[in-house]
Chains A and B, each alone.
Chain A
Amino acid sequence: MTAATITARHSFANSAFTAPSARIHTPEPAGKLAFSFRNVAKQFGGTEVLQGISLDVYEGQFVAVIGKSGCGKSTLLRLLAGLDKPTSGELAGTDDRRRTRIMFQEPRLLPWARVIANVEVGLTGIAKGEAARQKSLEILAEVGLADRGGEWPSVLSGGQRQRVALARALVGHPSILALDEPLGALDALTRIEMQQLLERMWLAKKFTAVLVTHDVTEAVALADRVVVIDSGRIALDLAIPVERPRRHASPELAFFERQILDQLYNR
């Protein structure tokens, strides 16, 4: 099942908005491949966590991965980031580890390093000294923490820590950013702020984003494309051709949200 077939199968006639096909944001499959999974499987012990995953993601795409807890989303991201090796199948475009960064639900900041030094970790092997400091200060300003570089992470709020983690992930200009439920631990309002920041940074830096989330609203608000994983397989691969900036809870987004929920709960 490809994204195109799914969008085509649904009629927009019953929805209160015009067919979005004219305002597709998703880079056309003609773009360059950022990475691809070819029939990838992953087993832990005897259990197959992922089976036969094939996924082509194009440069600059924003892909959301959704699925029930334990369906293998994190495993997928760890394969993408090179933290685990697939049991069988092939990954292309992930050879250069420095091109891929991963963000987790926990910010994973070094508590004993100032905010700025934590961001500089993202430049390990890329830049040092004054150059590293300068770049880190710039990106800190971009995530809205211009004057917090000298603080200890422990005095920051959860959302601010996640911003530092985002700055650290992006300071080295990765081409792929994998995000494993990075906003899962934040309160609703901070979440929305962070979603906007993430979108802004993605638009500015033009990296390929792969966001694992359990929040369907978040997925359709941010992604060009939503991949639903169910019992280790891709159950749905849906394009979200809605123009940006997107409005939260707009009827267009609700339409796609419903399709994903239907798939998740086999309605």
Chain B
Amino acid sequence: MSSALRSIGRSSLGWLLPALLLAGWEGASRAGLIPANVLPAPSAVGEAFWKLLWSGELIENIRISTLRALSGFVIGGAIGFALGLANGLSALSRELTDTTLQMIRNIPHLALIPLVILWFGIDEEAKLFLVALGVFFPIYVNTLLGIQGVDPQLVEMGRIYGMPRKELFLRVILPGALPSIFVGLRYALGIMWLTLIVAETISASSGLGYMAMQAREFLLIDVVVLSILIYALLGKLADSLARFLERLSLQWHPAFQTV
């Protein structure tokens, strides 16, 4: 019981600094130290939040952005995972594709924006493509690294005990690669939001990035700040979810054993 309380205390400790910053910001705005046209007070941002929430505009934009982010993530992540598995398990597949992929990896995916706009216009495909491409590499690279890093002695052990290929994969190789795959997952989630923000800011007619750009045109700085905060929150949410899953599936790992 007391250890549970302590762990709640621990996890809320991380929120202390943001809360203090927020209070300081509000105080500085009220005292007139920060002009409202540079950075609105948190209370003003809060007001904007309520207004947009009631009009339904905020929810709709969050929904659209989240949907875009997740679809891109699923597409890019699935391809990256599949290729990572294939190249980790088959030398032939690795020799065929890995060099090419490593070459493409050196192109910053956001540098492709002009080309992507030429290909897809400003439609959904453009954003999906960019997010998927951004997510693909961290998942691919870390899945491949994870599989290549599986202890060969354990794999040999599985063979000695006559595990069929499928069982060897599910019981030895995949669990061994999982810590690395999670590193890729969390990194990919960060890239996912980053890519989406950029893509929506440049070309979109809905979504959070679009909302922020519209607000900028009408000099609604509180809405701009609100959009940025919501991006931060969504990013944090995605990361927390990934960490939760990580904790759940890596219980065996000494690093995750809290007791």
Contacts and interface: CB of A to CB of B under 8 A. Distances in A.
Contact of B161 (A83, A124, A155): A124
B167 to A, nearest CB: 7
Interface in A129-165: 152-155
Contact of B157 (A97, A98, A108, A111): A108
Interface residues of B, number: 21
A202 interface: no
A121 B162 CA distance: 9
Interface residues of A, number: 22
A95 B252 CA distance: 36
A206 to B, nearest CB: 21
A101 interface: yes
Contact of B171 (A101, A110, A153): A110
Interface in A95-119: 97-98, 101-102, 104, 106, 108, 110-113
Contacts of B251: 152
A152 B253 CA distance: 9
A83 B153 contact: no
A113 B254 CA distance: 13
A185 to B, nearest CB: 13
Nearest to B161: A124
B154 A125 contact: no
B257 A152 contact: yes
B156 interface: yes
A122 B252 contact: no
Contacts of A110: 154, 171-172, 175
B254 A154 contact: yes
Contacts of A104: 153
A176 interface: no
B110 interface: no
B172 A125 contact: no
Nearest to A81: B160
List the 6 closest A-B pairs by CB distance, nearest first.
A112-B175, A112-B252, A108-B157, A124-B161, A154-B254, A152-B252
Interface of B: 153-154, 156-158, 160-163, 167, 171-172, 175-176, 178, 250-254, 257
